[in-house]
Amino acid sequence: MKLLHSIFLCFIFLGLSFILPYSNAQSSNIKILGHSCYKAYIVNNYNDGRIIEADDGHIYQVDSYDTFDTQLWLPTDTLLICYTTASVNETIMKIYTLRNLDENDDDSDGVDVIRLK
């Protein structure tokens, strides 16, 4: 379900023509190339959950509507970092999601993020 949500967000972000079928824009060539997840730990949580730094050296920017959850994430919490790799008109892109495994919210699909580093 989260994969479909992430792909949909990608479509909206890129303004793809098939979402607006009556537009005059050309259709896009989209291919899902893979999906992967791995565990990491939070090193720092900055700006009330807006920026999350993981122990693998990557830094993620959290969507503003998800900071209600991420502002409570603590250093040393375990993250599940997932990403989907897609080709959109021959441009490779990755869509990232973080999930805090130390929270007791089994219904959470995680939060959408942008990897800054």
Give the tens place of pLDDT for each residue, 50-105: 999 999 999 999 998 888 889 999 999 999 999 999 998 889 999 999 999 988 76
Model confidence at 5, in pLDDT bands (50, 70, 90)?
low
Give the tens place of pLDDT for each residue, 22-60: 444 456 788 899 999 999 999 999 999 999 999 999 999
Number of structural domains found in the chain: 1
Residues 6+ apart with CB under 8 A from 107: none
Domain that holds residue 108: 2-115
Residue 2 has pLDDT above 70, yes or no: no
The predicted pLDDT at position 15 comes to 46
Range ranked top by mean pLDDT from 5-14, 17-26, 99-108? 99-108
The predicted pLDDT at position 30 comes to 87
| Half-sphere CA count of 117, side-chain side, radius 13 A | 9
